[in-house]
Amino acid sequence: MSSWGNYLKISIFGESHGGGIGVVMDGLPAGEFIDREALLLQMGRRAPGKDKAATPRSEADTPEILSGLLNDTTTGAPLCAVIRNTNTRSQDYGNVLSCPRPSHADYTGFVRYHGFNDIRGGGHFSARLTAPLVFAGAVCRQILEKKGISIAAHIASIGHICDSRFNETEIADELMQMLSESTFGLIDRTKESEMRALIEECRMDGDSIGGTIECAVKGMPAGVGSPMFEGVENVISSIVFGVPAVKGIEFGSGFAGSALRGSQNNDAFYYDGDQVRTRTNRHGGILGGISSGMPIIFRTAMKPTPSIAKEQHTVNLMDKTDTTLAIKGRHDPCIVVRAVPVIESVTAIALVNLLKDVNML
């Protein structure tokens, strides 16, 4: 299903080459002023063509808001935004039906929907569907910001080139702000040229490259999340895996922490004035599924763009033979860059749900 959420429900619709894509958000609190400029700024971060490391396509990703806003203020009724599809070149994808692109959803979608799924441009599986996710996330983050909760992510790595990590106990507001507006978000900006060079090299090779994204939430109050299956980790991961190309997620010390001893991985509590904090933050701001008040920090693994120009082995589903395929068309050699605001966005949606669960929204 392309619907998500218990308290704030979002319903994503659309196919890459259909009439349009969009989102319905049901359960927003009434009376929240939404800054349309800030929405467009977030949409722009994800849009192709904004950063030179991304695909050269340019989309008119301007959302039309059909409902739920009056005088730029939420009415409490469902908010629907539609983005028209334009500038599509369907002929690029002419052979997809017979020959599934390796590591795409072409084959599995074909089986799941008995061949009826719209395969033009990946159809409903297209990364273009992240545009309404960013829209919805941009609405949510404005609501969160008024509660003092900010979200920012950065490119933690591209290939083997790594950015610095967030300081796990204290993240400067300026860094949060800078990253949340960036189109090539890095903590250590000296890594940018090296990363861009790698991406360009992959593009020249007709290849692509994967990476990781690290996301932080600052200002999250303690006590948010519910045990077992509605913990912060469950809720975030259940929506993060809705972002195409995500193949892994880890919170706090994550996989590295699993090699440590308890005495190394445990976080000592202390009083900072009246507030309980931890000296370290291996737990990534979440204990027993519930926020501790420390920054929530997690990383996601993004696989390399499966669309590459190099010739690949695949099958012809029509005549049931093995064959080869060279994918034409315009593709990001590295989706990590544009996925940064998407990860932030789904996190914002997840947090609104979590806060509603405990009556904080």
DSSP class of 271: E
CA distance 22 to 70: 19
Nearer Cβ to a copy of itself (181/238): 238
Binding to a copy of itself by CB under 8 A, coded x per residue (else -) over 98-127, reads --x-xxxx-xxx-xxxxxxxx----xxx--
d(CA 240, CA 169): 23
Residue 338, burial from CB neighbour count under 10 angstroms (0-12, 13-18, 19+): buried
Taking a C-beta distance cutoff of 8 angstroms, is the pair 350, 224 a contact? no
- d(CA 186, CA 164) in angstroms, rounded, equals 8
**Least distance to a copy of itself, CB of residue 148, Å:** 17
**Rounded CA gap, 91 and 329, in Å?**
9
- Contact set for a copy of itself, span 302-321 (CB under 8 A): 302-308, 310, 312-315, 317, 320-321
User: What is the closest distance, in whole angstroms, from the C-beta atom of residue 225 to a copy of itself in the complex?
Assistant: 7
* Residue 6 or 58 having the CB closest to a copy of itself: 6
Interaction with a copy of itself in 75-94: which residues (CB under 8 A)? 75-80, 82
What is the size of the binding site for a copy of itself (CB under 8 A)?
145
Of 61, 163, 250, 344, the one binding a copy of itself (CB under 8 A) is 250
Q: Is 107 helix (H, G, I), strand (E, B) or coil?
A: helix
Residue at 219: amino acid letter? G
- Residue 231 near a copy of itself by CB under 8 A: yes
- 234 is an interface residue for a copy of itself by CB under 8 A: yes
Among 171, 246, 337, 350, contact with a copy of itself (rule: CB under 8 A): 246
List CB contacts of 99: < 8 A, sequence separation 6 or more: 314, 315, 316, 317, 323, 325
Contact set for a copy of itself, span 145-204 (CB under 8 A): 157, 159-160, 202
- Residue 28-67 contact track with a copy of itself, rule CB under 8 A, x = bound: --xx--------------------------------xxxx
